[in-house]
Amino acid sequence: MGKRHTVHIEEFIDGLKSDKLCGFRDHEYTIVEDWNLGFRLDHQGKNSKAGTKAHRLYIQPVAWGKTPASKKSHGKVLANIHCDDPEDVDKVKAALKESAGNAGDLVVV
């Protein structure tokens, strides 16, 4: 992933409001989408993790996003984390950035 692409994703992650990163519901839904930057944060349901239920969060490009970075990545998972309902949203943001910097590799929080 190119530097410009990473910058746009980090800008998207930095702009996520704290209230959007807690109180997750159990089903799949889009938490937030930004058409200007061209990305969305999706809740992909819950997954079993060591006897608990972890929320699966993905960052994906928005179809018809306005940035070249989002257009190049259409259909890909750009960040992928599993987390419990977080008390520290900064850890969630850091995990999303780590995953995005590693081509969408899974990060468990």
* Domain residue ranges of the chain, discontinuous segments joined by +: 3-108
74-94 per-position pLDDT tens digit = 668 889 998 887 778 899 999
46-84 per-position pLDDT tens digit = 886 556 678 899 998 887 666 666 556 666 888 999 888
Closest to 49 measured CA to CA, from 22, 6, 79, 82: 82
Band the pLDDT of 13: cuts 50, 70, 90.
very high
Closest to 10 measured CA to CA, from 78, 83, 82: 78
What percent of the chain shows pLDDT beyond 90? Answer: 30
pTM of the shown model: 0.83
Block residue for tokens 């994906």: 60
SS3 96: helix
